[in-house]
Structure 1
Amino acid sequence: MRQTTVRVRRVLAAALTAPALVLAGLAGPAAPATATAEDVAFEPAGQRMHLVTLAGPGLAGHRGGLPAPWSREALLRQQDALLAAVDAPAPAYRWTTALNGFAVRLGRAQVAALRADPAVALVERDEVRPLAGRAARATAPAGGVARTRGGAGVVIGMVDSGLAPGSPLFADVPRLGRAPERFAGECEAAADWPSERCNRKVVGARWFVRGFGADRLAAGASLSPVDDDGHGTQLASIAAGNSGVTVRVGDRRIGRFGGVAPQARLAVYKACWTAPDPRDDGCATSDLVTAVDQAVSDGVDVLNVAVGGGEGYDALERALLGAAEADVAVVAAAGNDARKAYAGHPGPWVTTVGAAAGPQRLGRVALAGGPTLTGATSSAGAVGPARLVRGADVAVPGAGRERARVCAPGSLDAAAVAGRVVVCDRGGSVARVEKSRAVEHADGRGMVLTNVRPGSTDADFHHVPTVHLDRRNGRVLDRWLAGHPAGRATLRAVGTAPAPDRVLAWSSGGDPSGDLVKPDVVAPGSGVLSAVPAAGRAAPWDLAAGTSAATAYTSGAAALLRQRHPTWSATAVRSALATTASPVAGGVLRTGAGRLRPERAGRPGLVHLVAPGDYRAWLDSELDGDLNTPSILLTGRSTATRTVTNVTGRARYFSSWATGFAGRVRVRPAAVRLGPGESATYTVSVSAGPDDGYVVWRGGSGTTTRVPVAVTGRR
């Protein structure tokens, strides 16, 4: 192996010191980043796809030195030397911007040889990861953000399942504001994605499938940026959908919608695919890394990655580090599997987002002469008073009471249902929305959906006006109907309740023995109104759930900050998003800094900046002192040091205190006076753990900077 290492180093040294040689080699480009239908099956059989990450940064992490084309060619020559040394085939992908590496099919001996080479940081097998939007819905639609402006000139890169471009949320409208200045991406045409699909709103679109494999796609999947799944469309609409778009479900007008940053532009990087078996859907890591590398090269300002995290600081996490080194604000999902996994994307360069409960849209069932019961609804108007009947009592002959009880398709007798409100039990392997379809087909006026065991109440978009009751209210209704077999009821919406102060149970929390506080923040992650592809659906709208929805919300908030403060670095944006959040019950390692507040993030008072190169020095255990993150995790030590910078634009006094801790916590100094752009270092000392709370800095102009602190005593 020593001979291999010497060859690699000599080639790299020659490339970096011989500009003429580099320029002469520029005619031999890397393998194209995006696959076409003709070249997706070129890899030899009998080997597995692996990701090979070389030591050191990609171009995004280089400071000074040769011009970018020369440096890129040097990286390619280094890669060529490694490939030749192990007699590897042509790689499926090469990465030179966010990462220095490649994806290639390798046998066991080749993997072992590369892992033994000091020039190689990681060799890992390619895997398919799930999207982070598969958790069950838990509340009612949060609705669009009441914002008509924000995000102009900012590009959000969506690494996801693509986009359904026909929605008015992604149309070229006059009020988009100034154009992006540094974005240089392309619109990659395909049979179902002509180049004119891109516009001033959707400024770029690419797709990557070599890792997943075109031969593994579901029938009808589009080898193009078109969204086959709906997940990418949902998240793009939440983050940056155009404002003022009317939401209609059937003949019902729900209201108007707008994304968090409605003037932001979108760049689509499709790296997530559908398979014949939905359990095999997902995103190959090699496709994800290639999408990130391309997005950074294109010049996005915010990067949204709503996929499951891998193990430690793998190729994807290092690619996200490269994005941060290019001053991209990176936002990623914590994950939806709190029982089995800690929060994904553990790097300090990522704003990792957990899911908090969203606002709840409420509906009531008013029983004539009886109680009024409250549940969840997406309906806007009122129904009734109308006769109330149990599904089990109006079964079509031959269907059976049990199927009619759960309102299975075809189980209800139209002669007994027409004009009435049907009470349907939840469950029975019948989807909630399919129950209301059965009521609609039987000419029913409405539905009351009742839980028969503990569970959520969900404001789905039903086929008839519906109120969903929990088990307790369902039992009250059942007892009332037993005494009033001809009873009548009125269904009506009664407004939206504020979001409850809690993190959703399935949202993954942080590792108490980890390196950092994760997640960084939480955001609405249940029942978030969003657009979906219209094909095969009753309406082009649905309710998104999962830490993916929360991630998209946060990406939109990051775009607002990048527009409002164009001179702020990505680390300043990351700090401002976290330190202006509001506390949420559950502890720091479940909630991070708390619930994201986009309206407050523009005035953080103080920010925690990270110097260029510090992230990589931290990863390589070469950083002198603490990494300046806007959170503190103390494992086996009692003191941490951070530095804050005044971004108010004026000289201010800032005072500090500790809150929420059970034990004694000291912050020194207790107060500082800082001029515009000036910095001060502070130290946090704790008496014992486990414990958690917040260090708070209050500014003279009313700003509040909250830093979450977790003390675990475990490593």
Structure 2
Amino acid sequence: MGRVLGCGLAALATAVTASLVAVTDDASAIPADGSLTLVTLNGPGTAAGERSVEELLARQDAVLAAIGGGEPTYRWTTALNGFAAPLTDAQLEALDRQPGVAVIEADEVRPLAGRTSLASVRRPVGGSPRLRGGAGVVIGVVDSGIAPDSPAFAAVPGLGASPGDFTGVCMAGEGWSQDECTRKVVGARWFVDGFGRDRIRSSETLSARDDLGHGTQVASVAAGNAGVSVRVDDRDAGTFGGVAPQARVAAYKACWGAPDPSDDGCSTADVVSAVDAAVADGVDVLDLALAGGEGIDTLQRALLGAAEADVVVLGAAGNSSRSDFAAHVSPWVTTVGASVGRMARGRVSISGGPTLTGGGRPVAVRGRAVLARDAAAPGARRRAAAQCRPGALDTRRVADRVVVCVRGGIGRIDKSEAVARAGGRAMVLVNPRAGSVTADFHAVPTVHLAAREGRRLVRWVARHPGSRIRLSRVAASPAPRRAARWSASGDPRGPVLKPDVIADGDAVLGALPATSGRSWGVFTGSSAATAHAAGLAALLLGDRDLPAAVVRSLLTTSAQPVRGATVLEQGSGALPQRAPTAHLALDVPVGAWRRALRRHDLTDLNTSSVLLQARRSVARRTVTNISGRAEYFSVTARGFTSHRVRVQPLAVRLAPGESATFTITATGPSTPGRLDDGELVWLGARGGVTRVPVAITR
């Protein structure tokens, strides 16, 4: 019998956690906290078309009867065959002896992969120029719910063809009636029994309505309506549009707010239940903006069922690069990390002094500078003033000045709000140490400087009090993308290369629930990047009838590598802003994933990336011409520094639908733990570039 599966190459199975198998003297006691155990049985759910619901339920009942279990909290029959229930230690011990059990896993709360800022938008923002795309496609968003009254989800004319195969429901709840669903928000469900009704904060609603804001932002970036007017604080701030503005949204609320915000998150049992329901409903794209989990666990097996049902599955890599590898290690999930750098830039020009550049969207403004540390309000500490904490600034010293604030202590947006309340004209935010810069929407014109530039500014103003400063927007093109330092990178010992791609994940504008106090805000994290990828997937499906595995391949191989990042940090690179148009794809037959899982070896799958490790020097992949015309394709290996990488054949001519297998051979030093990486670049005679990243860690 299998346990929670890890992601080592030699074997995926690992021992179940000690808390699951410990047997106490009081073996009949149900867990005092009501925690659930997730149990997955061998074989697929009904999505694979092999067995009926009745057969799966009968098998579940047999296992429950054998361990003396009652009716479980959740049953899963579509994406996988399993259940979640509170089990005693004695029942767990009996379950361990049952044949046909694939995974036993303790429920846990996983964090959302994004952080929301309630930003003040003080200048026009550029919306998506795309007015069409994604018609007839349903994006299922497993998150914190949705705000259906946002104009981003209004049932506007021009949504195009309605989804033909979607059968989801509009589940009623607190503050939510069936009338909340429209031609835009086509389905809504909520799942809370894993997280616990008694553990949610008082402001949460037991319905699909979003109170945290995260799910609304994700859904709006992926599929928000085009040309939506953005108004904040009664000001016109331009227009907004999602990546696939004609796509529909189905919300599956499985993430909740707790009394302590640090406990916010998503119970695995609730998330798996949401995935099972989404697959049964018939979504086309599935977006999961949550991190956590290790190996091929219960959730990954549920997502396998989704992939077998021809759903394009996208998962956030996570934002804890220092402590965790990228989440969603399975090859049937497109794992998306975050990039930064494609942000608006601002300039700080000091009269008679240096000109410095950072992140920002400032309107042109001039004024005399003051260091916040030198403008402390009576009774306020100098450190609090330096960080521009609310109430710490002396209005007499700050009024009509450009205030230089130090990052830390409170949120970046909160600092500009404090400057505005104190009468400041503008703000320059400086990093006290190495770290990223952002282009948030602030209460006053703001430029955010990195530590080096910030030190130059602080020294100058300290020596020249009252210096005149001008803030302005940099008109040149945005800074080049780079992989976010906080975005989780892949495990060099994993079965496949992760993350698959990266996308914009810093200060991304999205809609918010009206209950948040603002209708719009920015959010940061790999969740924002995953929303972008989900929108691109919807664009592809809206234009062409493609299998989910082909869509995954086109997304991954269309990315553009960014400088200074390894393939374990960026996968293929940064996703484009428009739907890919390449004619080559690396398809994976539906049954291949499960066969590889049974063999405990995922390395030979026809993935759109290559990971060579543990004395492995040869890999094979198959490309298919998915266009309607014959075409000549050639390949080049590039970027490797310590290995010679050969590809055979170097060129192929493929008729429409024809495939060719090529071999990748790496020769060079075998240094465990050392990474050498590069890419294989396929060029088509009719245009189109297909990139396959390769990591060598053997």
Both structures adopt the same fold (TM-score exceeding 0.5): yes
Query: Which residue of the other structure, out of 143, 149, 153, is the alignment partner of 1:170?
Result: 153
In structure 2, the residue matched to 1:674 is 654
In structure 2, the residue matched to 1:287 is 270
State the shift of 1:624 in Å. 11
In structure 1, stretches of 5+ residues that fail to align are 2-42
Q: Give the letter for the 1:60 counterpart.
A: A
Q: Is the 8 A contact 1:646 1:678 kept in 2?
A: yes
In structure 2, the residue matched to 1:460 is 440
Q: Distance in 2 between matches of 1:426 and 1:147?
A: 36
Q: Is the 8 A contact 1:307 1:332 kept in 2?
A: yes
In structure 2, the residue matched to 1:342 is 325
In structure 1, the residue matched to 2:15 is none
Q: Is the 8 A contact 2:110 2:268 kept in 1?
A: yes
Q: Give the letter for the 1:667 counterpart.
A: V
In structure 1, the residue matched to 2:143 is 160
Q: Give the letter for the 2:47 counterpart.
A: A
Q: Give the letter for the 2:179 counterpart.
A: E
SS state at 1:434 partner:
helix
State the shift of 1:497 in Å. 4.0
Structure number with bigger Rg: 1
Query: Which residue of the other structure, out of 249, 260, 263, is the alignment partner of 1:266?
Result: 249
Equivalent residue pairs, number? 658
Deviation string 1:529-558 (CA, Å, 9 cap, x unpaired) is 222223244x32222211111111111111
In structure 2, the residue matched to 1:480 is 460
In structure 2, the residue matched to 1:591 is 570
In structure 1, the residue matched to 2:57 is 76
Shift in alpha-carbon separation, 1:479–1:120, aligned structure 2, 3 A: closer
The more displaced of 79-88 and 658-667 is 658-667
In structure 2, stretches of 5+ residues that fail to align are 2-29
Where do residues 394-405 of structure 1 align in structure 2 (5 Å cutoff)?
A: 394-405=375-386
Q: Give the letter for the 1:382 counterpart.
A: A
SS state at 1:455 partner:
coil
In structure 2, the residue matched to 1:387 is 368
SS state at 2:660 partner:
strand
In structure 2, the residue matched to 1:502 is 482
Q: Is the 8 A contact 2:495 2:602 kept in 1?
A: no
Shift in alpha-carbon separation, 1:495–1:233, aligned structure 2, 3 A: farther
Q: Is the 8 A contact 1:617 1:623 kept in 2?
A: no
Where do residues 102-181 of structure 1 align in structure 2 (5 Å cutoff)?
A: 102-134=83-115, 144-181=127-164
Q: Distance in 1 between matches of 2:534 and 2:402?
A: 42
Q: Give the letter for the 2:45 counterpart.
A: G
Where do residues 420-431 of structure 1 align in structure 2 (5 Å cutoff)?
A: 420-427=401-408, 429-431=409-411
State the shift of 1:143 in Å. 5.7
Q: Is the 8 A contact 1:142 1:528 kept in 2?
A: no
State the shift of 1:268 in Å. 0.1
The more displaced of 203-212 and 175-184 is 175-184
State the shift of 1:408 in Å. 2.3
Q: Is the 8 A contact 2:46 2:79 kept in 1?
A: yes
Q: Is the 8 A contact 2:495 2:603 kept in 1?
A: no
Q: Distance in 2 between matches of 1:53 and 1:677?
A: 37
1:650 counterpart = 2:650: no
Q: Distance in 1 between matches of 2:429 and 2:129?
A: 30
In structure 2, the residue matched to 1:692 is 677
Q: Is the 8 A contact 2:316 2:328 kept in 1?
A: yes
In structure 1, the residue matched to 2:38 is 51
In structure 2, the residue matched to 1:330 is 313
SS state at 1:247 partner:
strand
State the shift of 1:373 in Å. 2.7
SS state at 1:552 partner:
helix
Where do residues 304-383 of structure 1 align in structure 2 (5 Å cutoff)?
A: 304-379=287-362, 381-383=363-365
In structure 1, the residue matched to 2:6 is none
State the shift of 1:294 in Å. 0.2
In structure 1, the residue matched to 2:186 is 203
SS state at 2:164 partner:
coil
Deviation string 1:127-158 (CA, Å, 9 cap, x unpaired) is 11111114999xx9996433111111100000
Q: Distance in 2 between matches of 1:397 and 1:340?
A: 42
In structure 1, the residue matched to 2:598 is 620
Shift in alpha-carbon separation, 1:416–1:669, aligned structure 2, 3 A: closer
Q: Give the letter for the 1:335 counterpart.
A: G
SS state at 1:366 partner:
strand
Q: Give the letter for the 1:707 counterpart.
A: V
State the shift of 1:520 in Å. 0.9
In structure 1, the residue matched to 2:548 is 570
Deviation string 1:563-617 (CA, Å, 9 cap, x unpaired) is 1112x1000001111111112232222211111125351x222111111211111
Deviation string 1:647-704 (CA, Å, 9 cap, x unpaired) is 1210111122211123222212222111111111111111135532222222110222
In structure 1, the residue matched to 2:586 is 608
RMSD: 2.4
In structure 2, the residue matched to 1:26 is none
TM-score (norm 1): 0.88
Q: Is the 8 A contact 1:530 1:541 kept in 2?
A: yes
Query: Which residue of the other structure, out of 62, 66, 77, is the alignment partner of 2:49?
Result: 62
Deviation string 1:461-493 (CA, Å, 9 cap, x unpaired) is 222222222333333333433454343333222
Q: Distance in 2 between matches of 1:513 and 1:452?
A: 36
Q: Is the 8 A contact 1:147 1:260 kept in 2?
A: yes
The more displaced of 109-118 and 548-557 is 109-118
